[in-house]
Amino acid sequence: MPMKASGAGAVNEANRWAGGGSWIPYPEEEMQRASHAIATDAGLLVVDPVDVPDLDEWLADLGEETGAGDVAGVAVLLDRHKRDAAAVANRHDVPVGVPEWMSGVDGDLDAPTTALSELVEDTSYEVRRVIDNTFWQEAGLHDAEAAVLVLPEVFGTVEYYCAPGEDLGVHPALRFTPPKKLKRLDVDRLLVGHGEGIADDADDLMRTALRRSLSNAPGLYISTVKNAIF
Which residues lie below 8 Å from residue 33, measured CB to CB, with a gap of 6+?
4, 24, 25, 26, 50, 83, 193, 194
184 assigned to some structural domain: yes
Q: Residue 43: left if φ>0, alpha if ψ -120 to 50, beta else—which one?
A: left
Please give the tally of structural domains in the chain: 1
Residue 1: the pLDDT is: 58
pLDDT at 200: 85
CA 97 to chain centre: 14
CA of residue 155 relative to chain centroid, distance = 9
Quick: pLDDT tens for 34-77. Answer: 999 999 999 999 999 999 999 999 999 999 999 999 999 999 99
Query: Is residue 199 scored above 80 in pLDDT?
Result: yes
Residues 78-95 have pLDDT tens digits of 999 999 999 999 999 999
Per the domain annotation, does 225 fall within a domain?
Answer: yes
Q: Classify residue 32 by burial, with Cβ atoms within 10 Å: 0-12, 13-18, 19+.
A: buried
Whole-number Å distance between alpha carbons of 153 and 192: 7
> Do the beta carbons of residue 13 and residue 54 sit within 8 Å?
no
Is pLDDT of 227 > 70? no
Q: Which residues form the domain of 96?
A: 13-229
In a domain, 1, yes or no: no
In a domain, 144, yes or no: yes
Does residue 64 form part of some domain? yes
Return the CATH number at 140.
Answer: 3.60.15.10
